[in-house]
């Protein structure tokens, strides 16, 4: 199994934490279909930590909590699949999960077989309670091998938080994506910190194994398990644009059963998703120096078919007026070419430029994201 584009879907942790159950998951599956999320590409529904009993069964296998999931995981997976969605679950490379449920350490092949029999399509694999004498790369290699031999295609999401030089060895393990950051929180400071952290990890990003900047907090507005203040819709728009531009998986974390119209408009923006899911999945690059120290990030990405995505992301607490020299993306007077800029949030064609480009003023924590077509210069 080779992952050609970053996975998209929903994960239970950001909003619900340990408070998960079968009814919630079934209703979430229904909502993902009814609200157009599946049609937009969000096809994974992932149950995070706290789904199991505290101890394994007599046969050494993990057991789903019968009070939370009375029908069992196989029946729940069947329901999710009946909606056209893929079903994901959670485990941990250590002796226990982060919430102190059974981990998969020394049970990797048994657990991989169990997940396959239940119909699991995606495994988030955490890094808590790792034995001191065990190297992380060996633990992820072990589960990667177990999944490759379980008889089912399962997307392997390595959640090692970027620890222990993960970037240098993760592609050896068979993982399809890897957490390059610590946990996200529902506030602007967390979004800014995680985005800035990606600067050192972009060379490791791409098809087959994507940098995972953690789940989205779009639409949470201070409610839920990781809520620490909340964000404005402007900040959520920047958050979504950054994750899309940097080829991060787009895993929704809000309550999709009760989304506002503004949240839907962000999560369902076809042009932003199109940039994230571009079949070439080329590495984005900084196309200008930072303005005001680390205040404005300007990213570009060459897209399949010859277009270029260009984004301006204002990390400052005040309005800013950046500009870019188009030579940074391969356009200058000698080429006889120019770029036609279309704002992917408004759909507006803002003009054709062959030397420099200055977007309209960007508010604090805001962004401008464009899809640019190469045309003949006038």
Domains of the chain: 8-276 (3.20.20.70), 285-376 (2.60.40.1180)
* Nearest alpha-carbon partner for 105 in 148, 145, 143: 143
How far, in Å, are 95, 173, 182, 294, 297 from residue 195 at the CA level? 31, 25, 11, 11, 9
Task: Using alpha carbons only, give the angle 251, 252, 254 rounded to the nearest 5 degrees.
Answer: 155
pLDDT for 289 equals 57
CA distance 292 to 272: 27
pLDDT for 294 equals 59
For β-strands 308-314 and 367-376, DSSP reports them as antiparallel
Q: With b meaning 16 or more CB within 10 Å and e meaning fewer, what string describes 164-181?
A: eebbebbeebbbbbbbbb
* Nearest alpha-carbon partner for 62 in 9, 123, 120, 111: 111
pLDDT for 206 equals 87
CA distance 72 to 22: 9
Per-10-residue mean pLDDT of the chain, 378 residues long, equals 94 98 98 98 98 96 98 98 98 98 98 98 98 96 98 98 95 97 96 91 90 98 93 98 97 98 98 98 82 75 98 95 93 94 98 95 97 96
pLDDT for 293 equals 46
| Residues with catalytic roles | 126, 183
How far, in Å, are 51, 94, 146, 259, 274 from residue 213 at the CA level? 24, 22, 25, 22, 18
**Contact status, residue 252 vs residue 220, Cβ threshold 8 Å:** no
């Amino acid at each position: 199994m080779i992952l050609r584009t970053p996975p998209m879907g929903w994960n239970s942790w950001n909003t619900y934490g340990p408070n998960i159950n079968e009814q919630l998951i079934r209703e979430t599956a229904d909502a993902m279909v009814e609200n157009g999320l599946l049609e937009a590409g969000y096809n994974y529904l992932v149950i995070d930590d706290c789904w199991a009993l505290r101890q394994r069964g007599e046969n050494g296998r993990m057991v789903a909590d019968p009070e939370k999931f009375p029908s069992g995981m196989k029946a729940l997976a069947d329901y999710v699949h009946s909606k056209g969605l893929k079903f994901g679950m959670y485990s941990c490379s250590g002796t226990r999960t982060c919430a102190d449920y059974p981990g998969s350490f020394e049970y990797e092949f048994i657990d991989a077989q169990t997940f396959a029999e239940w119909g699991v399509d995606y495994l988030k694999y955490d890094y808590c309670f790792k034995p001191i004498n065990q190297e992380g790369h060996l633990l992820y290699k072990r589960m990667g091998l177990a999944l490759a031999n379980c008889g089912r295609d399962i997307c392997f999401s390595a959640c090692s938080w970027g620890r222990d030089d993960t970037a240098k060895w993760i592609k050896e393990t068979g993982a399809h994506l890897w957490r390059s950051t610590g946990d996200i929180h529902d506030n602007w400071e967390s979004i800014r910190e995680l985005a800035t952290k990606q600067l050192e990890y972009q060379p490791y990003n791409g098809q087959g194994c994507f940098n995972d900047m953690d789940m989205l907090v779009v639409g949470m507005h201070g409610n839920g398990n990781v809520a620490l203040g909340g964000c404005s819709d402007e900040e959520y728009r920047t958050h979504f644009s950054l994750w899309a531009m940097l080829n991060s998986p787009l895993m929704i974390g809000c309550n999709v059963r009760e989304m506002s119209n503004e949240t839907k408009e962000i999560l369902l923006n076809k042009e932003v998703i199109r940039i994230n899911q571009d079949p070439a999945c080329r590495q984005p690059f900084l196309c200008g120096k930072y303005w005001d120290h680390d205040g404005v990030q300007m990213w570009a990405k060459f897209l399949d078919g010859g277009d270029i995505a260009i984004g301006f992301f204002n990390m400052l607490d005040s309005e800013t007026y950046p500009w870019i020299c188009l030579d940074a993306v391969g356009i200058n007077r000698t080429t006889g070419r120019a770029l036609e800029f279309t704002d992917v949030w408004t759909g507006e064609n803002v003009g054709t430029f062959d030397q420099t480009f200055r977007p309209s003023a960007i508010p604090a924590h805001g962004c401008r994201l464009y899809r640019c077509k190469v045309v003949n210069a006038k």
